[in-house]
Amino acid sequence: MERKNLKIKSGKFTFKPFSEEDISPLYISWLNNKSYMKYSDQRHVDHSKESATSYLKTFQGSENYFLAVFENHELLVGTVTIYRNLNNDSANIGILVSPDKAGLGFATEIFTILLEYLPVELGLIKITAGTCELNSGMISVMKKAGMEFDYRISKEYKLEGKYFDNLVYAKFF
């Protein structure tokens, strides 16, 4: 099966494959913002252009996607990862929105667009996303985008010496 090239455009957002040109000092600063990334495994890495380039290369030749999200075709405001399970027609998505856009509804808008577009374009019957049980912002985003609680993975996050559950939400098509 040939990997489909995704180029999503909806309203103020344009999604396109993340590229080396998108690895800017600003983008690296998002990844290195330990407070902002406190619910992400990215907090365990000191990021650089080299580490970001290495991560980008993991998507080459795979069925997975790493997308850059632009506002008004020019300003990078986030990224999306799509990890596909081809055998089961499902995918798990992750999102990173620029810290300066946090709390402004961008994540909900982006998630909603993905949940409308991806099932049709990729033939998916299920999309999942998960987060630490403490991440009320992301839980709210998933619910507002139409996802429902699916399952819990016990003690998957270690924060400040304590363990917390990963809550996985899903939408079926």
pLDDT at 90 over 90: yes
Question: Is residue 154 one of the residues assigned to a domain?
Answer: no
In the chain, the percentage of residues whose pLDDT exceeds 70 is 99
* Sheet containing strand 148-159, strands side by side: 8-10, 13-17, 65-71, 75-85, 90-97, 126-132, 162-172, 148-159
Question: Is residue 118 one of the residues assigned to a domain?
Answer: yes
Position of tokens 């899903």? 170
Number of domains comprising the chain: 1
* CA distance linking residue 104 with residue 119, whole number of Å: 26
Question: Is residue 71 one of the residues assigned to a domain?
Answer: yes
In the chain, the percentage of residues whose pLDDT exceeds 90 is 91
Tens-digit pLDDT profile for residues 105-161: 999 999 999 999 999 999 999 999 999 999 999 999 999 999 999 999 999 999 999
CB 68 within 8 A of CB 19: yes
The per-residue pLDDT for 74 is 85
Question: Is residue 130 one of the residues assigned to a domain?
Answer: no
Q: Which domain holds residue 17?
A: 8-124
The per-residue pLDDT for 146 is 97
Question: Mean pLDDT for the chain?
Answer: 95
Question: Is residue 129 one of the residues assigned to a domain?
Answer: no
Confidence of residue 33 (pLDDT cuts 50, 70, 90): very high
User: What is the C-alpha R_g of the chain?
Assistant: 16
Tens-digit pLDDT profile for residues 73-87: 789 999 999 999 999
Question: Is residue 70 one of the residues assigned to a domain?
Answer: yes
Confidence of residue 2 (pLDDT cuts 50, 70, 90): low
Confidence of residue 28 (pLDDT cuts 50, 70, 90): very high
- CATH code of 61's domain: 3.40.630.30
Question: Is residue 110 one of the residues assigned to a domain?
Answer: yes
Question: Is residue 153 one of the residues assigned to a domain?
Answer: no
pLDDT at 15 over 70: yes
